[in-house]
Amino acid sequence: MKPTLLVLAAGMGSRYGGLKQMDGLGPNGETIIDYSIYDAVQAGFGKVVYIVREYFKAEFEKTVREKYSNVKCIDGEPLKFEFAVQELDKIPAEFTLNPERQKPWGTAHAVLMAKDLIHEPFAVINGDDYYGKESFRIIGDWLRAHENTEGQYAIVGFELDNTLSESGGVSRGICTADENGKLTHVEEHHNIAMGQDGKVKGDNSKGENVELDGKALCSMNMWGFTPDYFGKSETVFHGFLEKNINELKAEFYIPYAIDCMIKDGSASTELLSTPSRWFGVTFKEDRPGVVAKFKEFADNGIYPSPLYR
């Protein structure tokens, strides 16, 4: 069984300015998604599904099919691609969209757009985040081991110290697990940064500025699901819309959906950990550092250069 990689690439990149998922950052113009695809293929994935917006789907799909036309899976089969569109009006028929709403419905809604395209265990990632080779190996191994299970999911947690930006405070969901390694809660923290005293601090869900453990595991939106997740998530989405259909900014996030499933007992989520260092272009000021890191990878032979020939 080859798991599928679901790439969330519909974001507008408001803080960064422009379509950062199309930005060439590698020595030969490689995007962050290019590196994620490379690592996923090496970890045994066989298909990539992109969630995009309608207005750039055609350009995005053309670029993808040209770039990866010769990419083979580890078993020699061609890498497969699918594309799904996330738009505001893609909601259950019994609900009426508020015409004033402009904000997308969130990451869990984006995942639901792929329901008809994925029938095997799959991983979810952000298109603008670099997760590292080891992270894809960890989630790939977990997905293969859970091919025939239901109601058991996983999240790859990154050490908080490995996810900070030098360009400003970041938001992170700090993960808490029970004695069996099962996720119990994800608490969103904002404005997380390392101070001059070397301590990491951020604002918790109550708005309190607190010191945080740099080794605490946080969510970078790298999840592992089996196909039954779609049905469970649809049920949660119905409940969410009943409460929020007229809210202009409420979003249906993956952690919210998972939290609902944990509370009602319909699913459990294993908290995995990775030694990889995350990086991305949260801010425009992050770009030079990311460019330098990919050059370092190429110079040290960690990745071939160019990545795809």
22-63 pLDDT tens trace = 678 999 989 899 999 999 999 999 999 999 988 888 888 888
Q: What is the DSSP letter of 156?
A: E
pLDDT tens per residue across span 265-274: 999 999 999 9
CA 236 to the chain's CA centroid = 19
Does residue 306 belong to any structural domain of this protein? no
Averaged pLDDT, 106-128: 96
Looking at residue 22, its pLDDT comes to 65
Q: Identify which has the larger pLDDT, 157 or 282.
A: 157
Looking at residue 165, its pLDDT comes to 85
Token code pair at residue 55 = 């207005």
Token code pair at residue 43 = 């970890």
Does residue 307 belong to any structural domain of this protein? no
- Number of domains observed in the structure of the chain: 1
Count the residues in the chain. 309
Whether 252 has a pLDDT exceeding 90, the answer reads yes
Whether 20 has a pLDDT exceeding 60, the answer reads no
pLDDT tens per residue across span 173-206: 999 999 999 999 999 999 999 888 889 999 998 9
Domain containing residue 222: CATH number: 3.90.550.10
Q: Report angle CA 76, 126, 147 to the nearest 5 degrees.
A: 50
Looking at residue 14, its pLDDT comes to 39
What are the residue ranges of helices labelled H in 27-124? 32-42, 54-67, 107-112
Does residue 309 belong to any structural domain of this protein? no
Averaged pLDDT, 293-298: 96
Looking at residue 284, its pLDDT comes to 81
Whether 167 has a pLDDT exceeding 60, the answer reads yes
Domain that holds residue 200: 4-299
Does residue 281 belong to any structural domain of this protein? yes
CA 30 to the chain's CA centroid = 19
Q: Mean pLDDT of all residues in the chain?
A: 91
Looking at residue 193, its pLDDT comes to 92
Peptide bond preceding 255 in cis form (omega within 30 of 0): no
237: number of CA atoms within 13 Å, CB side? Answer: 25
pLDDT tens per residue across span 220-248: 999 999 999 999 999 999 999 999 999 99
Q: 150 pLDDT band (50/70/90 cuts)?
A: very high
Whether 18 has a pLDDT exceeding 60, the answer reads no
Does residue 305 belong to any structural domain of this protein? no
Looking at residue 195, its pLDDT comes to 85
Does residue 263 belong to any structural domain of this protein? yes
pLDDT tens per residue across span 66-89: 889 899 999 999 999 999 999 888
Measured in Å, how far apart are the chain's first and last C-alpha atoms?
27
Looking at residue 192, its pLDDT comes to 95
Averaged pLDDT, 212-217: 94
Looking at residue 61, its pLDDT comes to 87
Does residue 308 belong to any structural domain of this protein? no
Token code pair at residue 282 = 């949260």
Does residue 304 belong to any structural domain of this protein? no
Share of the chain above pLDDT 90, in %: 75
Averaged pLDDT, 125-137: 95
